[in-house]
Copies of this chain bind each other. A is one copy, B any other.
Amino acid sequence: MLEAASEVFAERGFHGATVEEICERAGFTRGAFYSNFSSKDDLVVELSRRHSEALVDRIRHASKRAHADADELLRDVFAALADDSRSQERWLVLTTEFTLHAIRDAHARRAWAAQQRRVRDELVAVVDEAVARQGLALPMPTELFVRAAIALAQGSMTQRLIEPRAIGVGQLERTVLPILLGLGG
């Protein structure tokens, strides 16, 4: 069901995709849909939960490998993220559409805010552990660092979708985050 929903969202966009078409693609009845999800919004939040969990796992895994220094750790994390940049771009589009929907809809906004908070909390734990292990000091609260990293990663991806040849994969976060971590360029 979630696989089928991802495909339909990629083809039709969040607003264009209907519960009907998602059910048809997945070979489910509407009854089966509504026994699992209360709405299309609910389905997107669940998709986001799974996608973010996988992403945070990859970051956590890369950051926990043995590294000679913090530069190597960071390179490893960026490599783990760049791996899958096409599916992340597809995901960014759905996320952005849902964010616009959430700005206009209070119910979706509450669910989306809670989901963003969960992802950030997990990333804060990963960053805190890596920073302590490498003996670094962040020049700002970890939560702000994570918020900035998310803004830079989403900005890189969005700018690349508009101008693919003008900016590299992950270029903004790869340029800015080492400076915030006090690592030599």
Contacts and interface: CB of A to CB of B under 8 A. Distances in A.
Contact of A93 (B103, B155, B158, B172): B103
Contacts of A30: none
A155 B162 contact: no
Chain copies in the assembly? Answer: 2
A103 B154 CA distance: 14
A114 to B, nearest CB: 10
Interface residues of A, number: 40
A136 B124 CA distance: 32
A171 B158 CA distance: 21
Interface string A96-129: 1101101110000100110011000000000000
Contacts of A116: 159, 162-163
A103 B175 contact: no
19 contacts: A15-B15, A93-B100, A103-B161, A113-B166, A116-B163, A117-B166, A139-B185, A140-B176, A144-B172, A147-B159, A147-B171, A148-B152, A150-B155, A151-B152, A151-B154, A151-B172, A152-B152, A176-B176, A176-B180
Given A93-B100, A151-B158, 6 more contacts: A93-B103, A103-B161, A116-B162, A147-B171, A151-B152, A154-B155
